[in-house]
Amino acid sequence: MIDLNNLTVELTLQNLKTIKLWKFLLPKDRELTRQDYEAIAKIDALAIAAREQMEMQRRLEKIRCCR
């Protein structure tokens, strides 16, 4: 979830993967710029954070379940 001064956008891991795919498929007629690579790196970081959050949630659910 991204909060930009109370403007909230919820992105799922699948959303991030799709955005990244679009980024690679659309610019076929030009080389990627530094800004393109920065955007890809940020999307990767968001995807990693989302995956880690999902894994943490699963671990917490297992702990609660086993008590």
Tens digits of per-residue pLDDT, 9-43? 677 778 778 877 877 777 667 777 787 788 778 87
In this structure, is residue 43 part of a structural domain?
A: yes
Domain housing 30: 9-66
For the cut 60, the answer to whether the pLDDT of residue 4 exceeds it is no
Contacts of 4 (CB under 8 A, 6+ apart): none
What's the number of domains the chain is made of? 1
Coil, strand or helix at 27? coil
Residue 19 lies in a domain: yes
Q: Is residue 42 part of a domain?
A: yes
Residue 16 burial (10 A CB sphere; 0-12, 13-18, 19+): buried
Higher pLDDT, 6 or 44: 44
Judge whether 4 lies within some domain. no
Q: Per the domain annotation, does 3 fall within a domain?
A: no
For 22-35, letters b (16+ CB in 10 Å) and e give: eeeeeeeeeeeeee
